[in-house]
Each structure stands twice: as C-alpha cells, then as structure tokens.
Structure 1
C-alpha cells in the first residue's frame, strides 16, 4: 500500500504546469492587447507629443518673423505748467517689417524645421520604449504566473512526500532524520512559493502602471516576429531606421545651421516702418484752444553691428563646438544602435540554445527522479536523495520558463534595436497619433480665418480643446 502511494505521488511537472495554459478562456488578453493599452495609456507619449507641438510652434514663430508687425498705441498726457493746465491724447497705428536680413530668418526657419523632424524621431523612440515595456511587462506576468503554478505544484507534491515519509517513519522503515529532511524541503518549497507570489504581484503592478489596468488571463505569446536573414542585414536596418539615429542626424543638421546662423549675425539688417497718428491737444490757458494734428510716417532703417566686444565671435566659436559635439554624438549613437542589434541577436541565439539544453535536462532529470524514487522504495536511496532529484526537475522547469520569456523578449528587443517596434510596423490595427497634423495646421502661423478653424479641429481631434 505504501509503495503504491509513493508511485502515485504526482504526475509529471510539465503536464501540471501546462494544464492551466491549455484551459484559457476565449477572451484572454493577448500581447497585442497589452501593447495597444500601453500606447493609449502612456503619459510619457502624451508628454512628448506636447513637446512636438511646441517644436511645431517654433517653426511657426520663425516664419512669423518674416511678416510685418502691426500695433496700435494710445497715449494721454496731462501737464500743469506755472498754474496752467494742458492735456493731449494721441492714437497711432504702427507697422514694422524686416525687409532683408541677409539670410538670418531663412536659417532660423530651417533650424526650426530640422528641430521638428528631430523631435518627431524622438517621439518614435519613446513609442518604441513604451511598446517594449508593455512586452516585457506582459512576459513577466506570464512567467511569474507559471512560476507560481510550478511552485504550488511543488508544495503539493513535497507535502505528499513529507506525509509519506512520516508514514514510513511510523512503521519503522526510515529514521527521524528522513522526516526532518522532508519537513525542511516542504518549508523551503513554501518559501519559494511565497517569493513567486510576490514576484507575480510586482509584475502585475508594473503591468498596471504601463497599461492602466491589472492583467486578466493572458494568452500565450504569438509566434515570434520574423528575423532578417542575418546579423549584417539586421545591423543595416538599424542604421537606416532607428529613431535615435534619425534624431541625431537632424540635431547634427541643426548644429550645422547654427554655425551659419552665428555667422549671419554679423550681417546688416534692413527694416521698414510705417505709421499714422492723430494727436489732440488742449490748453486751458488762452481760452482753452484745442488743436488736432494728423501725422503719417514711413522710413527705412539699415543697421549692422561693427563691434560687439567679442560676443559675436564667441557665439560663432560656440556654434562650431556644438556642431562638433553633435557629430560625435551621431557617431556614438550609431555605434550604440549597432551594439544593441548585436546584443539582441545574441540574446536570441542564447535563449534558443538554453531552451534546447533545458529540454534535455528536464527529460534526464525526470528519469533520474523516477529512478531515485523507485530505489528509495527498496531502501537504496534516502528521502533526501528523492527530494534533491525532484528539486533538479523543478529548477530545470523554472529555468525553461525564464528562457522562453527571454527568447520572446529578445525578438522584440531586436525589433526595437532596428527601429521597427512601432504600432504601424507591428500592424496593431489602431488609430495612431499623426505627428504631421498639428504642424500642417500651424506651419503658416495662422491667426484666424479658415486656417485657425482647421487648427481648432486638430486640437479637438487630439483632445486638447
């Protein structure tokens, strides 16, 4: 009877661990659901979209500098001179416009446009980070859930073994030492279960922070994304498409233009002014005579800085230093992307090799466990030998859970390193933020009229009005 009980201690751990995954409800959350939720929930994306809109307005501001400035000025003056009162009131309309600045404003517009493109690339980089965070959170929850199931099953099985050891001790087949070893193993299994449950709760909280809700039942991950033909091809894709490289290229262009802008500060500037004004004056003395004067003015102003105390040359040298810095930053970024692609590719190879080796380890460990368990019934093995053999199976299965999650994550890390981890490239099938809509609405620096109405529609579409 006792031998039969030992033989039926438990079913294989693999079958027990997979039993829950086979019974998923029809509405299980998918990895795509997690990424969509993270994309919609991310405050970081909202922040960087606002940063982009501010850059769009910089482009509008640069364009507005080419247009005339029209303003009105009202003035009232009261005077008391040796006991006599006098007052005057004037109203004027003034206009001023830069007629020619030898390229200053044109360079400023180009700088603003390049800055917009750099900020758009930065937004894509944030999108990639958000989606990769969602993938990692999703896989962590699934892995933690499987670890809890595995540890729960271990507690159940070791509890049965502990009870069997107690029964054998009572009939004199083993010693108290064997029972104590089983007690210690059961306590250790319960501690491991508590750790796994804590890890699961942490993973759930992280999932909620990224997606805005706690995870339900998570479906198995989809097939891993298709890889490029080889590592060289992956590196080439990364150099072409990664948003950090695109951002660094635009920032380098901005710094190049900055050198030209610093040099242009030494050029002359021609401005035109025009104005009309009317002034009404009244003096209490002399019968309170009132006079009205209407004046129209027009003028040209040509100016150039001859000596700035060294400020303009210093600004020019500073711009050149900044240009050199952004060039080096571009090179450094390209190298980092190249390294990230290589690391992710290696991670895929390592995870695949680990899974293959762990599968062999599980098979061998289970065979060893079955043999040790049978030998223990014949008195050739101790209870500790049985527990150690079972722990080997458990550790191998836990390692496989981690390796499978690492394999999935490495594929998405590779997509991110190549600059392809975006909603559009993944075809998640949801409306995405259009980074050009706001720019198109403000690029002409609209004030009112149909352009202003178009801007209002854009603001309503993105929920900012």
Structure 2
C-alpha cells in the first residue's frame, strides 16, 4: 500500500514542476531551474560527498586488516672493539598476517559498511536541505518582488490622493489637516516601499547564495505537488523513506555491532609471520691481523597465539561503553522518528492554515475593495474625509500583502511536507540532471586496491558529473 502511494505521488511531482514552465518566456527561470542550480552549486553537498568517500575508505581499511602486511627492513651498523673494526649490513623482507581473530575483523568490516550506509543517508538529508533552501529562496524573491510592486502601486495611488487633497484645499473644500494627513500617508507608503525594496535585495542575495547566481526573470511557481490522502499516510511515508530515519537505523545497527566488537576484543589472536633476510658482517684489525667476513641467508616462518588475560579494566569498560552507545543510538532512532512525525504534521497543518488564510483573505480583499470604492465615492461628495479614504486604501493594501505572504507560505508548506516525507530529492522530483552516485566510489575501493590511482581517477569523474 505504501509503495503504491509513493508511485502515485511521484508522477505528479515532475508534472507540477514542468507546468510552471509552459507558456513562459524563454529566459524565465522556473522553480525546477532554481533547484537544479542549487544542486550543482552547493558546496555543502560537495563537503558531504567527500565525507562519504572518507567513510568508503574506512570500509576499505577494515577489509585490509584481513590481508598480510609486507615490509622491507635494511640496517647498517659499525663498532670498534679492542682494535677491531666491525661492519654489519642486513636486508630483510617480512610479511605479517592475522590468521584468525575469532570474528573481530569481520565485525569491524560490518561496522564500517553500516557507517557507509548511514553516511549515504545523511547525504540524502543534505540534498533535501539544499533543495528546500532553493525553494524557499525562490519563493521569497517572488514574494518580495510582488510586495515591491504592491507598495509601488500604493505610493502611486496615495500620491494621487495627496494631489487631489492639495487641489481641494486650494479651492477651500478641505482643511490643511486633511492635506497633512495625506502627506503623512504618502511618506509612510514611501517608507514601506523602501522597506520592501530592502527585503527584495536580501531575498536576491539569499537566492544567489543558494543557487550560485542572481535571480533574473522568475516564473510563477508551478501548481503545488499532489499530497497523500491523509496525514497518517504522509507519516507512514516519512517513517519509511526519510533519510534521517534511515541514517539513525544504520547507526543503531552499527552500535549493536559495536557491542559485539567490544566483547570480541577479549578473544585470542592467531597471527603468522614469514621473512627472508641476508646479513653480511666484516671485521678488520687495525694492527693488520687480517679480516673476517660472514655472509648469511636466513628464512623464518612463525605462528603466534596471544590473548589478553588482564587489561586493568580497560576491556570491560570498553564493553560497557559500547552498550551505552547502543542504548543512545536506539533512543536517537526513536527520537528521530518522532521528529519526522512532528515535521510531517507541522507541514500538513501549515498547508491547511495557508489554504484557510487564502480563502479568508480573498473575502477580505473583496470586501475591502468594495469599501474603498464606496468611501472614495462618498469622499467626492463630501460625506467622507481624506483620512477615511486613506484608511480604506490601507486596509485593502494590507489584505493584498497578506495574500502574497499566504500564497508563498502555501507553496513552501507543500515542499516542506515533501522534505518531511523524504521525497524532496533530485531523483524523486525527476529534474533530469546527472546525479552523484554514492555507490560508485565505494565499488571502486571496496576491495582495498593497493594504489590510490584508481580512486583519484574516479574522484575526478564524479566531481565532473556533480558539476556538469
């Protein structure tokens, strides 16, 4: 049932994003364009991709613990004893390998793999934050632009009222007080316009930070994405797909393995060594008694079995610490699940509130427009004062400004809900751009290749894809 709900939700997402791109000027930037730019521009994503690659290397390091370590050793020494000069040189090739450690290395590999999966989930969470930031900055620029247009129109209308008041004062129809009221209203409108223009500049800077470029001609937002039928269904999706929950699950699994790893530290270790060496010694007498030379080849193979009998309490303490970390991870998973439920519920309520506000504001605008028209007509007949006209105009302006804010909040709440459900990703939105493959680097290094050349080459390819 949950999979079916997810499929029905994913199809309208791209349709909603593309709907805003139809019948628009060629240079209009859509919401989808803003999200694509943010995905490609984000340094935060680059940072967390590097963190993931480091986690991939941790898995490779854990695998390498099961392999032999081969090293060479060269030495030279000189000594002088009672007139004899002695020289000694040696070179050896040595290999060491853990043959059996009763599961410690295998558990370490499993912990590293769980950490990789947790880091991948964290990367998806960062992606959601980046895309939601792009949506918010896009809507803020749109809203701030509309507010500037609204305030500009208010300055124009109140300017006309102020000029009309001045003309009526000159013919003796009204007093100087009426003119002063109109002057004050015009000054207030200009101040509000300056404030709105400042908010627009701030919104533009935020957009530049989020997307890497200044906003140009932003298209109207697309239709809002389709939602699940009920809040309960939305919460089920969130619990199933949200990256923070997936991350917490992996961390809880790693902590469970950590307890087993701490217990396994008490087990013995069987290791093997093998070496071949060549040693040369030479001694000479400073009195001319002759010299001696020794050239010796040797080969050694050995086994070693060891186990800690007493650690001063270190191993039991590490075991207790691992159990405490396991309990912490379990509680974190529960807390994360509750936070996701809360985020879904908050976004769902935000949608309901914004819809109700828009409906009420539409009624308010209609009534305020009718009142403004009536007051203005009555003012021309002398039945209303200039202040009455200005008050009516201000009420209409506030209602229109509130609608701009409510419409932006409705759009944002929809994308906040997608984020809370774990669906605000490039893949789910089908934005049609190459995405970073979190498994590609892991696949290249999972066998712990002895050279990093392959990893460096892959890293360049992945970076190119991420910035393509």
Q: Same fold (TM over 0.5)?
A: yes
Distance, in Å, in 1 between the alignment partners of 2:370 and 2:428 is: 46
Q: TM-score, normalised by structure 1?
A: 0.93
Structure 2 counterpart of 1:384, from 381, 384, 387: 387
SS of 2:299's equivalent?
Answer: strand
- Please point out which of 302, 305, 312 is paired with 2:308: 305
Cα deviation for residue 435 of structure 1 reads 0.1
> Are 1:414 and 2:417 matched, yes or no?
yes
Whole-angstrom distance in 2 between the partners of 1:461 and 1:106? 31
- Map 1:349-368; keep pairs closer than 5 Å: 349-368=352-371
After superposition, what is the alpha-carbon deviation per residue over 1:111-158, rounded to whole angstroms, capped at 9, x for unaligned? Answer: 000000000000000000000000000000000000000000100111
Of 405, 409, 417, the match for 1:402: 405
Deviation of 1:363 after TM superposition, in Å, equals: 0.5
Question: What residue is the counterpart of 1:20 in the other structure?
Answer: none
Contact 1:35 1:135 in 2 (8 A): yes
Q: What are the equivalent positions in structure 2 for 1:47-86 lying under 5 Å apart? A: 47-86=47-86
Q: 2:343 & 2:117 partners in 1: Cα distance?
A: 23
In 2, are the aligned partners of 1:24 and 1:217 still within 8 Å (CA)?
no
The answer as to whether partners of 1:131 and 1:421 remain within 8 angstroms in 2 is yes
Separation in 1 of the partners of 2:290 and 2:83? 14
Whole-Å separation in 2 of the counterparts to 1:268 and 1:315: 17
Aligned length: 441
Give the distance between the partners of 1:266 and 1:334, measured in 2 at CA.
35
Distance 2:189 2:26 in 1: 33
Deviation at 1:464, TM superposition (A): 8.3
Structure 2 partner of 1:201:
201
| Range with greater deviation from structure 2 (287-296 or 346-355) | 287-296
Residues in 2 aligned to 1:241 and 1:351: alpha-carbon distance in whole angstroms = 26
Matched residue, 1:263: 263
Secondary structure of 1:236 counterpart = helix
Three-state SS of the structure 1 residue aligned to 2:413 is: helix
Q: Distance in 2 between matches of 1:192 and 1:82?
A: 101
Partner residue in 2 for 1:373: 376
| Equivalent residue number for residue 185 of structure 1 | 185
Q: Deviations over 1:3-56 (max 9, x none)?
A: xxxxxxxxxxxxxxxxxxxx9633110000000000000000000000000000
Q: Indicate how the Cα distance of structure 1 residues 91 and 192 shifts in structure 2: closer, same or farther if over 3 A, else same.
A: same
Distance 1:172 1:282 in 2: 126
What is the rounded CA distance, in whole Å, between the counterparts of 2:406 and 2:261 in structure 1? 54
Of residues 328, 334, 339, the one that matches 2:342 is 339
- Aligned partner of 1:424 among 414, 427, 450: 427
Q: 1:379: Cα distance to partner?
A: 1.1
Q: 1:462: Cα distance to partner?
A: 1.9
Alignment deviations for residues 386-407 of structure 1 (CA, whole Å, 9 cap, x no partner): 0000001100000000000000
Q: Secondary structure at the match of 2:218?
A: coil
RMSD in angstroms over aligned alpha carbons? 1.4
Deviation at 1:82, TM superposition (A): 2.3
What SS class does the counterpart of residue 108 from structure 1 fall into? helix
- Structure 2 distance, partners of 1:464, 1:147, is 40
Note the alpha carbon deviations across 1:433-464, whole angstroms, 9 max, x for none: 0000000000000124xxx6653441221238
The equivalent of 2:8 in structure 1 is none
Q: SS at the partner of 2:334?
A: helix
**1:141 maps to which residue?**
141
Query: Over residues 330-349 of structure 1, what are the superposed CA-to-partner deviations in whole Å (9 max), with x where a residue is unaligned?
Result: 00000000000000000001
Structure 1 match to 2:162:
162
Q: Secondary structure at the match of 1:174?
A: coil
Distance 2:260 2:410 in 1: 49
- Structure 1 position 358, deviation (Å): 0.5
**What CA distance in whole angstroms lies between the structure 1 residues aligned with 2:321 and 2:362?**
60
Q: What runs of 5+ residues in structure 1 fail to find an aligned partner?
A: 1-22
In the alignment, structure 1 residue 317 sits paired with structure 2 residue 320: yes
> How far off is 1:63 after superposition?
0.2
Does the CA contact (< 8 Å) of 1:231 and 1:345 recur in 2? Answer: yes
1:458 aligns with 458
CA distance in 1, matches of 2:269, 2:392: 86
Aligned equivalent of 2:331:
328
Task: Identify the match of residue 440 of structure 1 among 431, 443, 468.
Answer: 443
Which residue number corresponds to residue 243 of structure 2? 243
Distance (whole Å) between structure 2 residues aligned to residue 243 and residue 186 of structure 1: 52
